Structure 1
């Protein structure tokens, strides 16, 4: 079997470009949002 050189395209597939998330604080994922909304709904009851 021959050895393949890693190309720039291969490297971009391995490491996703997440620069669009640079301004988003940690803890702003779906789970945290769901928990926050659940707590608000429970408080409204």
Structure 2
């Protein structure tokens, strides 16, 4: 788990949340939003540990 850079939790969450807008299937949009939100929660944990 990295706290910065292209492989960080923040980068992952932003990828999921931005991909959400290009997916035409509503269920897939919901899944990407859920995953992106969970990745943001991971970032919260990482920042609490630093």
TM-score of the aligned structures, taking structure 2 as reference length = 0.34
More RCO (CA 8 Å, sep 6+): 2
Q: Which has the larger radius of gyration?
A: 1
TM-score of the aligned structures, taking structure 1 as reference length = 0.37
